Amino acid sequence: MENTTFINTQKYYLFLREIKYLHEMDYAVVTNADLEKRLVKNFKLWKNLKKQRKVSDTRALIDGTLSTLTEKNYLKRVEKGKYRILDEGIHYLNQLQEVLIGEFYFEFTFINKELSEKEAFDAIVVNKQFEYSIANHPILTEDDIAELALMDYQFHNRKLSI
């Protein structure tokens, strides 16, 4: 995947994931400040891609990303600086998760293929027992990547009932 496309995919994933999470935590709307607080580590990684970025660049990133997601009907702007995720946004978030999982090529060579949910969470999210191909310029943290790895593990190791 082209680097710019990969960074945009990560941005949209992070924003939609956080807005969906906050909505599930009974936030009626999500503000720019909510996102700025929750994505601090990701913004640091983004700034490190180009050392000369300033704080105002982060604000422009937030505003621009929210604007793009609103224009594409993934978010609804309730009032100035306040957003809500739409069903289309949740569907797009699921697509982005699949794309990112495909880009990281996760491998679980050090863990059993039939772990319980808790054992899988502990092995993958807590202890980071997985391998992946490092993508060009990720702005996802190790914890973000571990979350995607857990989804991939669960998908490939779910027990099919007939």
Q: Structural domain boundaries of the chain?
A: 3-94, 100-157
Q: At what angle do helices 142-157 and 87-104 cross, to 10 degrees?
A: 90
Domain spanning 3-94: CATH 1.10.10:
yes
pTM: 0.84
| Chain segment 64-89, per-residue pLDDT in tens | 899 999 999 999 999 998 999 999 99
Q: In this predicted structure, which of 33-37, 128-132, 157-161 has the lowest mean pLDDT?
A: 157-161
52 band by pLDDT with thresholds 50, 70 and 90: low
CA distance 69 to 8: 11
| Helix (DSSP H) and strand (DSSP E) numbers for the chain | 7, 3
Residue 158, pLDDT above cutoff 80: no
- Residue 30: closest CA among 76, 67, 90, 89: 76
Q: Is it the case that residue 1 has pLDDT exceeding 70?
A: no
Instruction: Measure the CA dihedral 21/16/65/39, to 10°.
Output: 40
The answer to whether 74 and 92 are in contact (CB under 8 A) is yes
| Averaged pLDDT for residues 18-40 | 87
Cβ partners under 8 Å of residue 114, min gap 6: 157, 159
